[in-house]
Amino acid sequence: MRHLRVPSAETQHWLELCRSQNWLQKGAGVITLEDGMKGIPLSENAPSETDECWSNNSIFSAQGLTKGPEHWSEHLDQKLLQDIGKELPKSYEIQGDILIVKLEEQTLEYGKAIAEAMLKQLPSVRLVCADNGVSGEFRVRDLEPLASRNEDISTVTQIKENGVLISTDPAKVYFSARLSQERKANLSVAQILSKKLSRPLRICDPYAGVGPSLASLLRDDNLVSECYAGDLNPDAFELLKHNIAHFISKSSNPLRELKIENIDARKWKDELNGEQKIDYLLVNLPHQTLEHLPELLPLISRGHPTVIRGWAIIDRDTLSFQEEKIAGQIKSAGGKVESIKTSEVKGFSSSKIFMRFESWQIFNRSV
């Protein structure tokens, strides 16, 4: 590749000139030469050495310092890129070593080529899958493997979140990396409650999925004494058991009690024989959280502060009524709400709102 030899101090000037004239070789970098000189990579459009525009700077040939493509689409052949046109996927999601991409109907036939280009650009990705939408009772994504780096098309993968490895399978269970900030906040709130009660907590995560919220709660020293977790999806339940075993193997505090069940969340009150013992409850079934909540309130322990953190999808114009509605449910179950706060969780593009609520209450012992 041809390079223009220029004094180091003039590099910026020559770079700007070459860029403005379309003489700069794309994807190649400036090379450092001896005696304080630099070599600017020139494209085929750049004039020859004899041209006056170079002000007597010489041109030499050297192997280019290739930066490589900056975007996966640069690995696609030009004709294909033109055919795909505006329908080129603009975003994708990565879970562990799996890349998940939504393809428009017109691009389906180019799925394999797109996936192979993505594998070339992203060395940490093993498998590229097309996301054909959510389906079924557990709102799991229908994933179609498009290309794999090594013939392995298993959709089981591991995600590292807040320093902990979590096994998941995006083709069989729900997991949202976008909620990792919520899970961090779950930990801070649990720590505040535990301090207030001066003891470790009895926690319940009845819609636990593969257990990302428990990852940090169970690893924190002396934060949890009893843990009740479950999920109705049998695939999530299997991964949950595996993940919890991994989380507690990293903790120095043995749990007094651990129960993991493949049950409907509303059955936990029977599972715990009507014992009202949960200090900290997570309610994460966004499409039904507010309907299920009354059936979970009998789990809450009595006579001292407790916390419920939940997530729900609601109509945008109903946000202002939600605090009153949730407080009303708690009151009907015999609780006195000390504080309740609802807020929108940003980053969910929808005409609806993804809302978080956090309520602190004390349930009367006699109910």
Instruction: Report, in Å, the least distance between residue 171 CB and ligand SAM.
Output: 13
Q: Is the CB of 121 or the CB of 180 nearer to ligand SAM?
A: 180
Q: Are 166 and 243 in contact (CB under 8 A)?
A: yes
CB of residue 297 to ligand SAM, shortest distance in Å:
15
Asked if 198 and 126 count as a contact pair (C-beta separation under 8 A), the reply is: no
Q: How far is the CB of 274 from ligand SAM (least distance, A)?
A: 19
Least separation in angstroms between CB 200 and ligand SAM = 21
Q: Which is nearer to ligand SAM, 254 or 347 (CB)?
A: 347
Tokens representing residue 201 in the block: 């907590």
CB of 309 to ligand SAM, least distance (A): 11
Paired tokens of 298: 């009998």
Least CB distance to ligand SAM at residue 326 (A): 18
For residue 179, give the nearest of 357, 346, 360, 351 by alpha carbon: 346
CB of 293 to ligand SAM, least distance (A): 12
Q: Residue 5 or residue 183: which is nearer to ligand SAM going by CB?
A: 183
The two three-digit tokens of residue 340, written as one number:
């309740």
Residue 39 one-letter amino acid: G
Q: Which residues bind ligand SAM (CB under 6 A)?
A: 138, 173-176, 179, 206-209, 212-213, 231-233, 236, 264-265, 284-286
Please, what is the minimum distance in Å from the beta carbon of residue 269 to ligand SAM?
Answer: 13
- Map tokens 């900030």 to a residue: 181
Cβ distance to ligand SAM smaller for residue 212 or 334: 212
- Residue closer to ligand SAM by CB (options 161, 220) is 161
Q: Which is nearer to ligand SAM, 3 or 356 (CB)?
A: 356
Nearer to ligand SAM (CB atom), residue 110 or residue 311: 311
Give every CB contact of residue 290 below 8 A, 6+ residues apart in sequence: 312, 314, 322, 325, 326, 329
Strand partners, 94: 99
CB 61 within 8 A of CB 31: no
Cβ proximity to ligand SAM: between 17 and 345 the closer is: 345
> Least separation, in Å, of the C-beta of 287 and ligand SAM?
8
What CA–CA distance (Å, rounded) separates 184 from 192? Answer: 13
Whole-angstrom Cα Rg for the chain: 28
Residue 2 vs 172, nearer CB to ligand SAM: 172
| Shortest distance, position 207 Cβ to ligand SAM, whole Å | 3
In this chain, which residue has its C-beta nearest to ligand SAM? Answer: 209
CB nearer ligand SAM, residue 40 or residue 239: 239
